[in-house]
Amino acid sequence: MHVLVTGGAGYVGTLLVNRLIDRGDEVTVLDSLLHKSPSLLQHFINPKFRFVEGDVRDADNVKDALEGTDAVVHLAAIVGAPGCEAEPRLAEEVNHHAVELLISLAGSDRALIYASTGSNYGAVDGLCTEETPLNPLSHYGVTKTAGELAMIESGQAICYRFATAFGLSPRMRLDLLINDFTYQAVKNRQLVVYENWARRTFIHVRDMAESFIFALDNYDRMKGEVFNVGSDDMNATKKEVAELINGKVGGFLWFADIGSDPDKRDYEVSYEKISGYGFSTSVGLEAGIDELIDGYKMIRISNPFSNMA
């Protein structure tokens, strides 16, 4: 199979590309290298890998990248609420309009897999299923929801609403909750947590990559459907996560009302639908956090406000 991965140089994409190459697929990546990440360097010696440096908003770049491909995993996005609030028009163009462009250029024969997000739900009372109405609150959620609706209307996409990712990847993201908490605990020996009662849901980044492999292999029976992707075992409050990390690392743990989540995520999510199709995650919270604690030895970002070396 020849798979186009848009945003393939990103946090999730890098691990997905590794996985696709390992199993012998041909891979094209379209990425604008927004974060200047060299995470795919190792693949340039592989004749089955092609990199198109370009923009998903540019029709010529998209046509070039689609050449010869059978399926598209669409990851390219302005991710997270802060990034989208900082550049709202860019977020609308990339997260919404570029999705419509991709659908129109992909034609009706290609499999489309879309990386959507649990942020689309907004604040939810009770158990959140795929039938729960979408009520995005942040600009990130609003633009990702618009992209998702376009994908659903195309009739040829599988839409995945992911839990919050965590874990090591060659293109690291330190803004994600568990990655951030663990980083603060390891590097600063203190962790300050707001809204500690909020119930969140998590998925390891390798399991996200694996879920795309599952979608590619099961496209015909999953096509046209929306799935929450995560694990029923990985719903936890921020307090529980912080205490788990703190128990491993030590240092100070403070709970303080110093902020709030723009997406107002405080919900328990059901993953019954995707598990009914046969997909389950394999990396638990503890194992993923242990890897982070180890892996952060290789990440050194100087903190001008820290008096610790």
Ligand X SMILES: NC(=O)c1ccc[n+]([C@@H]2O[C@H](COP(=O)([O-])OP(=O)(O)OC[C@H]3O[C@@H](n4cnc5c(N)ncnc54)[C@H](O)[C@@H]3O)[C@@H](O)[C@H]2O)c1
Residues near ligand X (CB under 6 A) are 7, 9-13, 30-35, 55-57, 75-79, 94, 115, 117, 144, 162, 164-165, 171, 173, 176
- Based on CB atoms, which residue is closest to ligand X, 13 or 288? 13
Residue 250 beta carbon to ligand X: minimum distance, rounded to whole angstroms: 27
Q: Per residue in 19-45, is it b (16+ CB within 10 Å) or e — as a string? A: bbbeeebbbbbbbbebeebebbeebee
Q: How far is the CB of 92 from ligand X (least distance, A)?
A: 12
Output 7 or 136, the one with its CB closest to ligand X. 7
Single-letter amino acid code for the residue at 212: F
CB of 242 to ligand X, least distance (A): 18
What are the structure tokens assigned to 4, written together? 């186009």
Q: How far is the CB of 288 from ligand X (least distance, A)?
A: 13
Crossing angle of the two packed helices 98-106 and 59-66, in degrees rounded to 10: 40
Q: Cβ of residue 30: shortest distance to ligand X, in angstroms?
A: 6
Complex with ligand X: residue 94 or 134, whichever CB lies closer = 94
CB of 179 to ligand X, least distance (A): 9
> Between 110 and 144, whose beta carbon lies closer to ligand X?
144
Q: Which residue is nearest to ligand X (CB)?
A: 10
Smallest distance from ligand X to CB 291, Å: 16
Strand partners, 28: 4, 50
Which of 75/146 has CB closer to ligand X? 75
Q: Which is nearer to ligand X, 52 or 245 (CB)?
A: 52
Starting at the edge strand that comes first in sequence, how are the strands of the sheet with 164-166 ordered? Answer: 164-166, 199-204, 235-237
- Of 173 and 253, CB closest to ligand X: 173
Q: Which residues contact 42 (CB under 8 A, 6 or more apart)?
A: none
Structural element, H or E, at residue 164: strand 164-166
Burial class (CB within 10 angstroms; exposed 0-12, middle 13-18, buried 19+) of 303 = exposed
d(CA 114, CA 178): 23
CB neighbourhood size of 172 (10 A): 23
Whether residue 202 contacts residue 285, with contact meaning beta carbons closer than 8 Å, is answered with: yes
Distance CA 229, CA 215 (A): 11
